[in-house]
Structure 1
């Protein structure tokens, strides 16, 4: 009878601590609830719109993958994290604590790996448009590789995480938190695992910084070149594009407006494919100044530009079925390609920034295991909020799509109009 009474008192004591802790971190819980609802709705819309309303492309494949990973976070990881905070003193005793940590790590690392693949794809499209481009099939293979590698890196979480003893104001009663398991707290394995995660994050971040720096440098060159050509257009200049095919050479004269209409995304793939099939190589781009009739000038000056330095800004679309001819694309495609790059850059930036507070706390806790054990009040709320800061990324992506992608906004408005009509 005494044992039954003690067990009941034990459970009541832990539940009382659960309630007190939940009130302490209520702001963090509510914040995660908002992220969960926003992410569930937003990413569901992203999956629907990009699946049924967008054409098949590498960008579509990557965005769908990111949306699915974010849905996993919002549907599984965030609710379990909320339960962990709500029942902080009893949640560690449940077996799915380990599974939850694997899901959280997997979805986050998969998103980061896909963002690196996205950056490589944008780099190839903008900085290397005449070389082999990523096809939708290759993009799907890259996503599978990213998922498998992230899953393998997440598996140690199932071993290292589990029930961790949490003390209470009664020395006879201890709680159970879902964190680094007791048997591994005094071992070097958590530090090694967190160090590997930190290394993966830093190396991925550095790769993203380098790739997007090269991309924006190339975009800046393109803009500078377009401004210079527009200035030349005002003085009656024309463009002569020289194309070689084997030992034969042909020339195409275009106006400045035609030349400036080259795209950075859609035509990059076509140009690369046409180059591969026809073996055409753009060897030179020359800017020829026409004589001004009113000045009676009989001479013209020629400026030769390096085609490598103007790979995208001065690219011509080389067709296999039209011998040594240069065609142009719609000028409206250039801003669309650059807007897509900017949108993906914002997604990457938010991902990196949302992870920094979490990794900072994890690194600190790995060095000093008990540094956060006695936090109270606002400090406890801030700690639990920043520890889960990476979930911001899961809810923010649909908002970025809405601001940066006009087609996505238009489809959302159309869907909303249909829903209002049915209501």
Structure 2
């Protein structure tokens, strides 16, 4: 597939993501914001939906324009704004995933601790947002507009000047690498100009798709050492977030497994006691369970009668937390899978493909679909919304 066809496919895909993601996330915000009982999980879901909606309405269309212009923006502000948007949005989503994992861990493993309350969750979201914005600002300051004036004393073209000093630094995915924290650093524009005036004496191959006015990595504000350290830290946030989420959901699974094992053990001991003396007077008055039913005396033939067991409030809350944790775990897995190919490409671990790279935006579209499949309450509310829309027509 040639570059022109590949770019067209990417632009079409991003356009589809923008439209479908905007509609889906707007519905999520509408439904969850109307709920009377706002929980911490609902707050984090609203945060994710708001981030995804902003991405689909603003960042993806901006990305379409930048890709169509081949990163040739000519002005510093659009360049820095673009880098700010795409690099504060991604880590913020990762931070929210970590916060969700902590919230589910405390709800299931330590339900009486109440570590994350609604006010605390709002503060956590604000802190994560500020920190993500700081990362976006740092990234925007490491980029600028590439612009070199052709020295009048040299009878060469601008492209000749660019290629003589940039061929060893620039690749097609410079800007893409920065999004996910690649550690490659390009020289500052002043260094390039000095090198041109001192060393350019012959022509070489012109770097494909690169020229004056392009938004590209730069060390004009921060030197190469600072930029290198920052990019390493930025890239490390993904690995750290992944490990934290993996550990927390592992602890959640362990807690659920232990609880189910203890419940099964109590059930077996109640059905097959070793001797009648093992039960105290209080124990004999407790309800005996059998496969989710309660024993309710005996019938005329001496056989045990069973009636449907009704779950207590604590059990209902526990199982509701498990269902929510399962749904949000799937959201996290989709996030990790969507970004993994781009992260690997940015670190040159797999061959670069522009189409596959920009597929990470599918994550911003997938969440409403996950809620619709795994949350019956959301599905019912969604059907009610569609019915109201149809009836209004």
Correspondence list, 1:194-205, <5 A: 194-205=231-242
| Residues 1:392 and 2:362 are matched in the alignment | yes
Q: Which residue number corresponds to residue 304 of structure 1?
A: none
What is aligned with 2:10? 28
The aligned residue for residue 91 of structure 2 is: 109
Contact 2:107 2:114 in 1 (8 A): no
- Cα distance in 1 between the residues matched to 2:35 and 2:107: 23
- CA–CA separation in structure 2 for the residues paired with 1:223 and 1:159: 52
Matches of 1:52 and 1:198, distance apart in 2: 37
Contact 1:354 1:392 in 2 (8 A): yes
Q: Distance in 1 between matches of 2:243 and 2:251?
A: 12
Alpha-carbon contact 1:184-1:190 (below 8 Å) kept: no
CA distance in structure 1 between the partners assigned to 2:74 and 2:370 by the alignment:
36
Distance 1:406 1:64 in 2: 17
Q: Name the counterpart of 1:255.
A: 287
- Give aligned pairs, total: 319
The alpha-carbon deviation at position 390 of structure 1 amounts to 3.1
Aligned residue in 1 for 2:202 = none
Residue 361 of structure 1 contacts residue 387 of structure 1 at CA under 8 Å; is this kept in 2?
Answer: yes
Deviations 1:232-263 (A, max 9, x none): 4544899x999xxxxxxx999532459989xx
| Structure 1: distance between partners of 2:129 and 2:373 | 28
TM-score normalised according to structure 2 size: 0.70
Q: Which is further off, 329-338 or 400-409?
A: 329-338
Name the CA shift for 1:42/1:254 in 2 (closer, same or farther; >3 Å).
Answer: farther
Counting only pairs closer than 5 Å after superposition, residues 150-299 of structure 1 correspond to structure 2 as 150-164=132-146, 171=160, 174-181=211-218, 183=220, 187-235=224-272, 254-257=286-289
Residue deviations 1:268-322 (CA, integer Å, cap 9, x gap): xxxxxxxxxxxxxxxxxxxxxxxxxx9xxxxxxxxxxxxxxxxxxxxxxxxxxxx
2: distance between equivalents of 1:175 and 1:188?
25
**8 Å Cα contact 2:73-2:214 kept in structure 1:** yes
For residues 69 and 15 of structure 2, what CA distance do their matches in structure 1 show? 16
Question: TM-score when scaled to structure 1?
Answer: 0.66
What's the CA shift for 1:332? 4.7
The answer to whether the Cα contact below 8 Å between 2:141 and 2:221 also exists between their aligned partners in 1 is no
Could you list the runs of 5+ residues in structure 2 that have no partner in the other structure? 149-156, 163-210, 294-300, 302-310
- Cα drift, residue 51 of structure 1: 0.3
Cα 1:86/1:253, change in 2 over 3 Å:
farther
Cα distance in 2 for partners of 1:347, 1:193 equals 28
Q: Using the alignment, how far apart are the partners of 2:64 and 2:4 within structure 1?
A: 10
Distance 1:241 1:127 in 2: 29
Q: Secondary structure at the match of 1:47?
A: helix
| Pairing partner for 1:357 from 333, 341, 345 | 341
Aligned to 2:191: none
Q: Which has the higher strand share?
A: 1
Q: Is the 8 A contact 1:163 1:182 kept in 2?
A: no
Take 1:359 and 1:112, find their aligned partners in 2: how far apart are those partners?
13
Q: 1:337 aligns with which of 301, 311, 321?
A: 321
Q: Is the 8 A contact 1:241 1:251 kept in 2?
A: yes
Superposition deviation, residue 164 in structure 1: 4.2
* Number of the residue aligned with 2:189: none
Match of 2:206 in 1: none
- When the two chains are superposed, the root-mean-square deviation of aligned CA atoms in Å is 3.7
Give the secondary structure class of the aligned counterpart of 1:25. helix
CA apart distance, 1:22: 4.8
4+ long deviations beyond 6 Å: 258-261
Q: Which has the higher contact order (CA 8 A, sep 6+)?
A: 2
Structure 1's unaligned 5+ residue stretches are 1-19, 243-249, 262-293, 295-326, 366-371, 373-378
- The offset of 1:364, in angstroms, is 3.3
Cα distance, 1:231 vs. partner?
Answer: 3.7
**Structure 1 residue matching 2:347: 3-state secondary structure:** helix
